[in-house]
Structure 1
Amino acid sequence: MPRSRKRLAGAAGPDKKELSGKHIKTENSNETSAHVENSSPETVSDSKNCGKNLSNYWLMKSEPESRLEKGVDVKFSIEDLKAQPEQTACWDGVRNYQARNFLRAMKLEDEVFFYHSNCKEPGIAGLMKIVKEAYPDHTQFEKNNPYYDPSSKKDNPKWFMVDVQFIRIMKRFISLAELKTYHQAHKASGGPLKNMALFTRQRLSVQSLTQEEFDFILSLEEKEPS
């Protein structure tokens, strides 16, 4: 869902992000898209969880391969972010309440894994950071936008976005399959990825990570794929 400073967003449903001419995306299939998660305010309680017990580490999903959503290409990869002016984009188009609440909980300089979703090989492609805290997502008010939400009002917006900035591409791509292997092993052993939201809340396009999860995943860069 991100775009160059302004990105396009997605519709209610699993949640995805969109573009700035590119969205940050949704995942479906095995993983599911970010944008399109359910948009029911199932989430007032989630919003509580968001304010507390919050880490400063996140995982955000976007689609690196072209796909049209109501005539708009939602493709946005880590390479697209790197190519933006100042290597910065807004992460718009999130249309899921829990994911939105996570966006609102983010703080400047929080670190984020950029996750490629809904593609041949999903996984963690790079690192970025939060450079502007949550503010209203303009795409909810744009009638021609695929993620327009007529029920949202400018004086009481439903949807928010943040600005992200490229840090680096991962030393090696950490695939979903590799992460799943560790998750399954850690469920038995009590390891760092035992409760990772990527597997327990697959449809969320914006997910919080513990420092233990974040550090363990970073350590995988130095290891051969399992």
Structure 2
Amino acid sequence: MYWLYKTEPEECSIDDFASTPDKAIIWEGVRNYQARNFLRAATLDDLVLIYHSSCKLIGLAGIARVVKTAYPDPSQFNPGSIYFDGKSKTEQPRWSAVDLVFVEKFPALVPLDKLKRSSKLEQLALVQKGSRLSVMPVQPDEWQVMLAMAKQE
């Protein structure tokens, strides 16, 4: 399966993954139920497009791979974390995290406007009006289109 995960680069960027290519990075802080459910659906070795958002240069930055599937997000239990959830209980956690490792950084960012212009990506949740999910599935044909765009940049 293929995925697209949005991140703010100052929080976790493709460069963070590239700087420690053999070290897993926890993908935590997802606080939307639909996005959480998608996160929970990720399986071992699934590939993930890392998408930089809420920054000056918005777009696809590279690829990571799932190395640990969904487990309770530790930040939900940490009162010092911005992702703390006082209503979440250890015996029945609300939120999940996965671990990812670096696969590839694209030579250049694939900008959102380029993705929006592709007729082959019209069904991609990322380009749908009002879609704000931070975790979303990507169909195999969409994955191939976006990889081809990344290789052209």
Normalising by structure 1, what TM-score? 0.64
Any conservation in 1 of the 2:59–2:110 contact (CA below 8 Å)?
Answer: yes
- Give per-residue Cα distances to partners, 1:95-126, cap 9 Å, x unaligned: 00011001110001101101001011200000
Aligned to 2:146: 217
Q: Distance in 2 between matches of 1:98 and 1:172?
A: 30
Aligned to 1:83, which of 7, 19, 42? 19
> Where does residue 58 of structure 2 map in the other structure?
122
1:197 to 122, 125, 128: 125
CA displacement at 1:152 relative to structure 2: 0.4
- Distance in 1, matches of 2:140 and 2:115, equals 16
RMSD of aligned alpha carbons: 1.4
Deviation (angstroms), 1:193 = 0.6
Structure with greater strand percent: 2
On the 8 A contact 2:116/2:122 being kept in 1, the answer is: no
Q: Is the 8 A contact 1:121 1:176 kept in 2?
A: no
Q: Which has the higher contact order (CA 8 A, sep 6+)?
A: 2
Aligned pairs for 1:27-176 (under 5 A) are 56-65=1-10, 75-84=11-20, 86-176=22-112
User: Which deviations, in whole Å up to 9, do the C-alpha atoms of 1:7-34 show, x marking residues without a partner?
Assistant: xxxxxxxxxxxxxxxxxxxxxxxxxxxx
Q: Which residue of 2 aligns with 1:179?
A: 115
Structure 1: segments with no counterpart, 5+ residues: 1-55, 66-74, 187-191
- In structure 1, distance between residues paired with 2:100 and 2:141: 22
Aligned length: 152
Q: State the structure with more CA Rg.
A: 1
Q: 1:169 to 1:94 in 2, by over 3 A?
A: same
SS of the residue corresponding to residue 85 of structure 2 reads: coil
Q: Percent identity?
A: 43
Question: Which ranges of 4 or more aligned residues in structure 1 deviate by more than 4 Å?
Answer: none
